[in-house]
Amino acid sequence: MILEFYPNRATLTFYSTLNLLYSNIKMPIAETIAIGTELLLGEIQDTNTHFIALQLRNAGIDFYRATMLGDNPGRIAKAVKEAATRADIVITSGGLGPTVDDPTREAIALAAGVELEFHEELWNQVQDRFRRYGRKPTENNRRQAYIPRGATAITNPVGTAPAFYIEIDGCIVVSLPGVPRELETLLVDTVIPLFHDRFHLKAVLRSVVIHAATAGESQIDEWVADLETGANPTVGLLAHPGITDIRITARADSEEEANHMIAGLREEVIKRIGQSYFGDDETTLEQVVNQMLADKDMRAFILLNGFDRTFETRIEKLEPRQIFVFTSTEDNPSSPELEIARTSGYEIIIRADLFKMTDQTNLAFTFITPEEEKSITRSHGGHPELAQTWAENMLLDFIRRYLYNKNNRQE
């Protein structure tokens, strides 16, 4: 599985040259290889690549490709050799355990054209770790003390599998355990500092994610298309059901400079997307709507039909909560819950029905406020499994826009 592709180091050099002409900042290029047949079978999720990507970004390292492979030494070795022709850094995760189906040591040795070599000090470390656990290592644990000849061992203080790094064709190849806690500790404490020393890293990458609600990806793209062509900062879009994210990423010599570069572009994006904007980074739509209601000392009641209860769970996390959701199985619009809401002082009441059709999902809802009562219908043509999240965000954003316009009228 490949996330992004550049065919060879010459092509990468071309793109790097363009970036240098723009920003005068040289950044090493990295790739990752996640190893484990269990990943390909869907038995476990690859969270390691996500963590590595964040650390590389923060260190100012360009991350161009992620690959996922099963426990086959030949295929792993081939992938490592190919990656070493394109990248300055290759990080593998997984396959360093004691069993026969932990092939990473053998595969890296094959890629480097060397033999595996036993290290007595690594075996002592493995035994010490087991002693601390009150256990005795088995003979197959001895496999973990073998690393490719010429490789440098990385001591693992939180696990039994020593990691290592080796140079292949001018590229530094780092092999880390697949256990997330071990990988994260070694990456942060040892590997990233190693990259800083080796590549004299000065550049930093910083990002902000701007959230836009109910305006689709194509609409957002039309509004900010010219900004997406910039080399530094860069602008990219990511669509979710009912929400589109606009990511701005800047590289600079310092965090302060990167933040300054982002600030002006962020203001321009927000100006262009107008009322669709509701927040940045970790801010959620429900948090924004809940806070707007709290600021006006208002409450909203949403009665749902055709939904499962996940929307309730999503809203229940809010504190203090100004939004109340009830999932009904009643088809009668004047159900008891709705009548109770009408007489209980809720300033905003919504009755929403979700209908799953053959080729689309329809959301029909009645929006009731002290000023008016109106009925609205919206359609979702995407995957049916995404329809409820889309509908939830549509309802929340309808409340947000009502409160936004109400506040502007009052001003």
Say yes or no: 270 and 357 in one domain: no
What's the CATH number where 297 sits?
3.90.950.20
In a domain, 4, yes or no: no
Q: Output the 3-class SS for 92-131.
A: EECCCCCCCCCCHHHHHHHHHCCCEEECHHHHHHHHHHHH
Which of these ranges, 2-6, 50-54, 372-376, has the smallest mean pLDDT?
A: 2-6
Determine the structural domain holding residue 109 and report its residue range: 9-199
Return the sign of the alpha-carbon dihedral for residues 244, 59, 8, 15: positive
If pLDDT is split at 50, 70 and 90, which confidence band does 158 have?
confident
Mark whether 259 and 299 lie in a shared domain. no
| Token pair in block for residue 139 | 């003979």
Please state the rounded mean pLDDT for residues 382-391: 90
Q: What is the CATH number of the domain that holds 265?
A: 3.30.70.600
109-132: pLDDT as tens digits: 999 999 999 888 888 877 776 776
Where a domain ends, among 168, 199, 230? Answer: 199
Please report, for the domain that includes residue 194, its CATH number.
3.40.980.10
Query: Confidence class of residue 2 from pLDDT cuts 50, 70 and 90?
Result: very low
Number of structural domains in the chain: 3
Q: Are residues 222 and 263 in the same domain?
A: yes
Give domain status of residue 227, yes or no: yes
Q: 264, 280, 296 — which closes off a domain?
A: 280
Return the closest-CA partner of residue 389 out of 303, 322, 310.
Answer: 310
Portion of the chain with pLDDT greater than 70, in percent: 90
On whether residue 165 sits in a domain, the answer given is: yes
How far is it, in rounded angstroms, from Cα 295 to Cα 297? 6
Residues 91, 136: one domain? yes
Residue 3's pLDDT is: 41
Are residues 17 and 123 part of one domain?
yes
The per-residue pLDDT for range 237-286, each reduced to its tens digit, is 888 899 999 999 888 888 899 899 999 999 999 999 999 999 999 999 99
Q: Are residues 144 and 46 in the same domain?
A: yes
Residue 2 in any domain: the answer is no
Sign of the alpha-carbon torsion through 30, 35, 41, 47 = negative
Residue type, 90: V
CA–CA separation, 284 and 273 (whole Å): 17
Residue 339 lies inside a defined structural domain of this protein: yes
Q: What is the reported pLDDT for 278?
A: 96
Tell me if 1 is assigned to some domain. Answer: no
* Confidence bin at 332 (pLDDT 50/70/90): low
Q: Do 305 and 405 have their domain in common?
A: yes
Residue 275 and residue 289 in one domain: no
Say whether both 150 and 51 belong to one domain: yes
Of the candidates 224, 274, 271, the one whose C-alpha atom is nearest the C-alpha of residue 248 is 224
Strands 300-305 and 348-356: parallel
Radius of gyration of the chain (CA): 27
Same domain, residue pair 45 and 82:
yes
Residues 354 and 244 in one domain: no
The pLDDT-based confidence of 104 (bands split at 50, 70, 90) is: very high
pLDDT greater than 90 at residue 31: yes
Same domain, 327 and 262: no
User: Can the peptide bond before residue 28 be classed as cis, meaning omega within 30 degrees of 0?
Assistant: no
